[in-house]
Amino acid sequence: MRSRELILYRELTKESLFERLTRLIGRHDAGELKKLSAKEKEGLSDESCEAVRELIELAEGCGFDGNLWQCYLANLLVNAENAYSLACELKEEPSGTITEAVGRDFEVLKYYYDWDFARMAEELELPQLQLILAYQRDDRSGRMYNHRISGHICALAKEMAGAENPQEMRRAVAGFYQRFGVGKFGLHKSFRICPGEDGVTIEPIRNIAHVKFDDLVGYEGAKKKLRDNTDAFVAKRPANNCLLFGDAGTGKSSSIKAMTNEYYEKGLRVIEINKYQFQYLSAVISQIKSRSYRFVIYMDDLSFEDYETDYKYLKAVIEGGLEKKPENVLIYATSNRRHLIRENYSDKEDEDMHTGDTVQEKLSLAYRFGVTIYFGRPDKKEFQTIVQTLATRYGIEMPQEELFLEANKWELSHGGLSGRTASQFIDYLRGIG
């Protein structure tokens, strides 16, 4: 089989479906399929049906349409992390011996990419293969990819189909790597970490709320401070770790979501981690420090009780350890506490001979965030402004006096004045029609 000739893209041969279909193509080339017994033909038909099923499942899961074999190969290529793809991600397409090696790979890949399954279906009486040639679906969004990602991959598949030779096909794929990146970090905006027996893996969060900064009413100064710091970071200028603190329901976490959406196209990726996973921070950073993206390690609702000591892992990573923190990594956190660690009056009592040291130990974590942004609870007038803005945005028609009266009743029994309470009130009105 020609797939055995692959060098840089040799990992593709470990994909079960790729291996089975390229083996089928190889057997067809060798003339073996014309000599099958009746029982062997039944087995071939079963094998073909299973391959078609897997491709259709892939199409529905990823949001692909058109030629599913070509979409499948395009999907494998955009997720293939190797010396060539990672070099393209970091800079322009590399030159030298690596180009010769990848050129041989694309000769093999184009041979398979252009394979005529319609002719095979007719010659071997396998009509099921026709189903993968022009697949149609109503909605391109899938469980694995959203509409944007699936659209990029389908567009690449069509571009490769129009390539006249392996060199054009290689340039199309290299252009994708340069524009969007490669693998999970190229395709997805946000991630979570999953510790396991084999170490820590970084897994995509496939559905993130599509919040924009304009969706957050008020807090213009806080939003500007967050955007200024993030602008500097993605532009590779000096930037600081950032702490968003203040009252509950004031838009801290929503601001992080808005930042994630706004800066994705500029190369920002966000990895969410909780305080019980701080021991894995070094392992996570080691996986991302050599990538071309800018990474924000995000910690939501960060705070510690006085008996918890996990914050010391975070202190060492942020600043103070022997190993320098990579330039492409920052720490962003949200918290209801300005100083993050609960302080007690006992910290200031005399039984500790070095009372100041105890207090400073607890405050030192917050001090390591160079930028702190306050999100305060709105006053009554600001709360009413948020309610009115959201009501107008969603087309709720209600006299202003009645709207404010009902909003005030709502906040009294739902947590008080906050942007979250205002949003929940508007959602309630939308729900009851």
Contact 218, 385 (CB under 8 A): yes
Contact 250, 288 (CB under 8 A): no
DSSP 66: B
Q: How far apart are the first and last CA of the chain?
A: 63
> What is the C-alpha to C-alpha distance for residues 202 and 285, in angstroms, rounded to an integer?
10
Which residue type is seen at 243? L
Given a contact cutoff of 8 angstroms between Cβ atoms, the answer to whether 281 and 317 are in contact is: yes
Residue 224 within any structural domain of the chain: no
Are 393 and 249 in a shared domain? no
Query: What is the rounded CA–CA span in Å between residue 334 and residue 356?
Result: 26
Per-residue confidence (pLDDT) for residue 281, from 0 to 100: 87
Query: What confidence tier does 293 reach under pLDDT thresholds 50, 70, 90?
Result: very high
pLDDT, tens digit (0-9, with 9 covering 90-100), for 114-126: 999 999 999 888 9
Minimal CA–CA distance to 263: which of 222, 228, 287? 228
Cα torsion through 380, 382, 384, 388, rounded to 10:
180
Give the domain range for residue 347.
Answer: 190-195+201-206+241-375
CA 137 to the chain's CA centroid = 24
Sheet with 268-272, side-by-side order of all strands: 199-204, 190-196, 268-272, 294-299, 329-335, 242-246, 371-375
Q: How many domains does the chain have?
A: 3
pLDDT at residue 355, rounded to an integer:
47
Residues 44, 94: one domain? yes
- Domain end point (choices 141, 160, 187): 187
Q: Which of 375, 390, 420 is the last residue of a domain?
A: 375
31-87 residue pLDDT tens: 888 888 889 989 999 999 999 999 999 999 889 999 999 999 999 999 999 999 999
pLDDT at 146: 77
Domain termination site, one of 123, 156, 187: 187
How many residues appear in the chain?
433
Query: Judging by DSSP bridges, how do beta strands 294-299 and 371-375 pair with one another?
Result: unpaired
Strands in 336-419 per DSSP E: 371-375
Does 149 share its domain with 288? no
Beta-carbon contacts of residue 175 (< 8 Å; ≥ 6 apart): none
Q: Which amino acid is at 406?
A: E
Judged on CB neighbours under 10 Å (0-12, 13-18, 19+), 333 is: buried
Distances (CA, A) of 169 to 73, 85, 110, 126, 356: 12, 14, 7, 29, 66
My answer on whether 384 and 302 are in the same domain is: no
Residue 217 lies in a domain: no
CB 247 within 8 A of CB 335: no
Of the ranges 32-41, 80-89, 100-109, 139-148, which one carries the lowest mean pLDDT score?
Answer: 139-148
User: How large a percentage of the chain has pLDDT more than 70?
Assistant: 87
Asked whether residue 351 is assigned to any structural domain, the reply reads yes
Cα atoms in the 13 Å half-sphere on the side-chain side of 19: 7
Alpha-carbon distance values, 262 to 70, 163, 230, 305, 395 (Å): 31, 33, 10, 34, 25
User: 393 and 336 share a domain?
Assistant: no
268 pLDDT band (50/70/90 cuts)?
very high
* Whether residues 38 and 176 fall in one domain: yes
Same domain, 342 and 414: no
In a domain, 274, yes or no: yes
Same domain, 388 and 365: no
DSSP-derived secondary structure letter, 182: S
pLDDT for 345 equals 46
> Do residue 163 and residue 64 come from a single domain?
yes
Same domain, 404 and 369: no
Q: What is the pLDDT of residues 318-368, one digit of tens each?
A: 665 555 678 999 999 998 866 555 555 454 554 544 444 444 555 566 677
Question: What angle (nearest 5°) sits at the alpha carbon of residue 422, between those of residues 411 and 408?
Answer: 35
Per-residue pLDDT, averaged over 292-321, amounts to: 73
- Do the domain assignments include residue 227? no
Is residue 233 one of the residues assigned to a domain?
A: no
Looking at the structure, tell me whether residues 48 and 139 fall in a common domain. yes
CATH code for position 300 = 3.40.50.300
Residue 363, domain member (yes or no): yes
Same domain, 248 and 106: no
Residue 109 forms part of a structural domain: yes
Query: Which residues, 6+ apart, have CB-to-CB distance to 114 below 8 Å?
Result: 161
Side-chain-side CA neighbours of 72 within 13 Å: the count stands at 27
Residue 186: helix, strand or coil by DSSP? helix
pLDDT at 338: 61
